[in-house]
Amino acid sequence: MSRQLKSLEQQFDRGDQDTKRTIGEYVHDNPGRWVSREELVDEVEIDESGVSRHLDHLHDEGYFLSKSSDDQRFVQWNGRGAGGIEYWIRQIIPRQARAAGNEIRPLLTLDSLGGAYVPTFLFGVFVILGFLCGIFAVILSQAPGDTIAGVTMDQVVILAGLSTILASTVFVLIPVVKLIEAGLEKLIQFFCTAFESDDRDS
């Protein structure tokens, strides 16, 4: 439990303040995210006016940040909360980059990529591995004796080269797999149509 949440629970420790503590814990456990008033209404099962009073009080005490958008009210925990590393990642990565990631993510699902999912996944793995090899090579070049934990520069260069070759191969395979998938789909449709036609004739 963070010091902020502990302070909130100590400040509102009366038996008739359990709803306020529940709201505080819920927002605390969702750090870096704007929580709507309607979501909190569903969570604590009281009317909006009651939730609004609790939000006003917690905001005035400095536990919550607050904003309004399109006649809706949102609150966010004022601090790290229970976020851990996820909170710090949200703080470091710009909001525009996170939004772009959310837009790209649906395009990388199994449904959208079909047969090219595995080659695309492997391509991403090899690209990341290549970057890591490059970073490790720079660190290794500054190390005394050109070795770290028994790994030499030659081994890093070989691994980086293999990663590049494999990534390039996978990248070439993606459109090929897509074409094969489309061809097989058309072939299956052709045979299904032919069988249905034969059944109707018979």
Average pLDDT (67-75) is 89
Over 70: is that where the pLDDT of 119 sits? no
Q: What is the pLDDT of residue 52?
A: 92
Q: What is the pLDDT of residue 73?
A: 92
Over 60: is that where the pLDDT of 107 sits? no
Under DSSP, the state recorded for 67 is: E
Q: What is the pLDDT of residues 153-186, one digit of tens each?
A: 677 677 777 777 777 776 677 677 777 877 888 8
Which H/E stretch holds residue 172? helix 153-201
Task: Determine the angle formed by the axes of helices 153-201 and 117-142, rounding to 10 degrees.
Answer: 180
Average pLDDT (183-199) is 79
- Report yes or no on whether pTM surpasses 0.75: no
Kindly indicate whether the domain formed by 3-92 is annotated with CATH number 3.40.50.10680: no
Over 70: is that where the pLDDT of 143 sits? no
Under DSSP, the state recorded for 14 is: S
Q: Which of 53, 51, 6 is nearest to 25 (CA)?
A: 6
Q: What is the pLDDT of residues 24-46, one digit of tens each?
A: 999 988 877 889 999 999 989 89
Q: What is the pLDDT of residue 57?
A: 93
Q: What is the pLDDT of residue 149?
A: 65
- The ranges assigned to domains in the chain are 3-92, 105-201
